Structure formats: C-alpha cells, structure tokens
Structure 1
Amino acid sequence: MAFKRGNRFPVSHAEAFPMGLILQGQIEPLIKWNPDRNAVPEQRRDYDPKTNEGTQLLMWRATVTDPDEAKSKRASFDLIFLAEHAPVPSTPEVLPGMRQIVLEGLMAEPKVMGQGEFKYLGYQFYAGGIEGDNSGARNRSVADKAA
C-alpha cells in the first residue's frame, strides 16, 4: 500500500492532542505568495490545479501550541482551517491572546520536516472548524471532501 503525496486522513482531536490545543492570537487568511509586492493579496484555496484535487475551500492559518509535545521547537505550529469563513473561537481567553480550542473535522497529512541530516516525520494538520463556533464557519464535512 502506497500513499500518494497530499494524502490526508481523519483523526480525532482527543487522539492527536490529548492535553488539548491552545490558539495563539487571531485566525488569519492564508495568502498566496506573489513575487510582485504591489499586487493585491489573494487568499489561497485548497485546490491543486495540476492534480485537480482539493476541497476548493478558503484556507485560514492559526498558530497553535500543543502542551503535550515533549520537544519545545515542535510544540507550536501553524494549523490550517478549510472553510468559507474564518472560524471564531467561543472559549474565553486563558491568558491575553490565548484560548483553549477543540477542533472539528481534523485531518493530518504526513510530511517530511527539518533540514539536512535532522529530518523527521511530522504532520500538517487541517481542520474544518472549532467546537462551539456559532459564526457559520464550521465545516464538518472537510474530511469527507478530502477523501
């Protein structure tokens, strides 16, 4: 059995983050890279025109911290939300700019991380929304669309 590049698989929030997950700051649009600095910023969509695969939903980036991670440099990472609208966390702030969140529609994509001889297997995480979000941004069917 061989996995193709870009293969995402569903995983439960409790299994991936047993001690929970902390959102740092705000959820922002993921902007396409453009060599022209004066160009109008354009938000990325989850779509690969070469393979014609993806959910075609807008991509949003959030910086999160996993308190269960043993290595400090791997504890904080960027999480990508796939939704037409930015998810809005409903939990109160634990510290200024930090909230504990529970993800819905969580998927993981294996990815080689690190540099040179210090490479390791890591995961890029994608989510459809945040539990308790009443803004209408929640997209539980992200795992179904990616499969």
Structure 2
Amino acid sequence: MAIERGFRFGINFDDAFPRGLVMVGDVAPDNEFQSREDRAANRPVRQRVDEVTGKRQWKATVTDLGEEKAKRASFEITFLAEVQPVPTTSEVLPGMRPIELEGLTAEPRVGGQGEFKYQTYVFRATGFKAVAASAGKSARSSAASDDTSKAA
C-alpha cells in the first residue's frame, strides 16, 4: 500500500516544534495570484480555498526556535478556517508572539534546488491553542522536574 502524494499527517504541536514557535507579524489572507491585466481591469482579489477541506486559507510567518539552520528557521504556515484565526497570546516584542497551534498537519515536500535538495514539510493548522493550555503545559513541566528532583 502506497501513501499518495500530498497526504497530510496529523501531528502533535509539541512533537513538531519541541522548543516552540514565534509568530512574526500578523495573520493575513492567502490570496490567489493576480496578473497586471486583472489589476488593470479592477477584478476582485480572491482568497485561496484549500482543495481538501474547502476552507479559506490564511497565512502567517513563523520562526521555529528549535531549527539550527537560519535558512530553514522561518517559514510560512497556512491556516485553514472560514474566519481569520486570532492569536491567543500577547506580543513579547513588537510584532513577535509565542504561539501554539491546534489541528496541525504536516505534508512532506522536497526543498532546495539542484544537488542541494532536502526534505521539508508544509505545515497547516486550524487555529491557535488557548492560553490556558500553554500555562498548564508549563505547570506540568515544573511539576515533573519537582518529581525528578525528589526522586534523586
């Protein structure tokens, strides 16, 4: 049995990004390409629709804090939702906020050119996790470290 091209694997956020993600800028509509002729004719801009889910596509630039290679650390993530997703965290620096994603999927792709190809992924999400979920995660982490120190 073969896995078809374009298959999306569901993945847990903590498994994909163990050190977390930082969103740079805002979430914006992912619009279709508009030619010069289309702009001159004042044709409306159309937002892309996902072929699999039928939902509107939104995009945001993120930085993977666990990636060591600068060229691969920042990339765009696509959100699939009828309305624009809104981050649940506040900015830590102007235009930058730590985020966690829900409904995360990964689609394997080949990146690079010529003899410098490598495997990469296209990540899609349905939205942002609530702030309370990340607070619980840090509480669990500190509780686990307390248990470890007690065991020693």
What interval of TM-score do these two structures reach, taking the shorter chain for normalisation? 0.7 to 0.9
Query: Matches of residues 1-147 of structure 1 in structure 2 within 5 Å?
Result: 1-35=1-35, 36-38=37-39, 39-47=43-51, 54-132=52-130
Query: Taking structure 2 as the reference length, what is the TM-score of the superposition?
Result: 0.80
Which sections of structure 2, spanning at least 5 residues, go unmatched? 132-152
Letter in 1 for 2:2: A
1:84-128 Cα distance to aligned partner (Å, 9 max, x none): 011111211111000000100000000011111111110000001
Taking the aligned partners of 1:43 and 1:114, their CA distance within structure 2 comes to 27
- Which is helix-richer, 1 or 2? 2
Taking the aligned partners of 2:47 and 2:68, their CA distance within structure 1 comes to 33
Which sections of structure 1, spanning at least 5 residues, go unmatched? 48-53, 134-147
Max Rg structure: 2
Query: Taking structure 1 as the reference length, what is the TM-score of the superposition?
Result: 0.83
Secondary structure of 1:117 counterpart? coil
- TM-superposed CA distance for 1:2, in Å, is 2.1
Taking the aligned partners of 1:92 and 1:104, their CA distance within structure 2 comes to 17
What is the number of residues matched between the two proteins?
127
- TM-superposed CA distance for 1:37, in Å, is 4.2
Taking the aligned partners of 1:34 and 1:7, their CA distance within structure 2 comes to 28
Q: Percent identity?
A: 51
Runs of 4+ in 1 over 6 A off after TM superposition: none
Taking the aligned partners of 1:72 and 1:30, their CA distance within structure 2 comes to 24
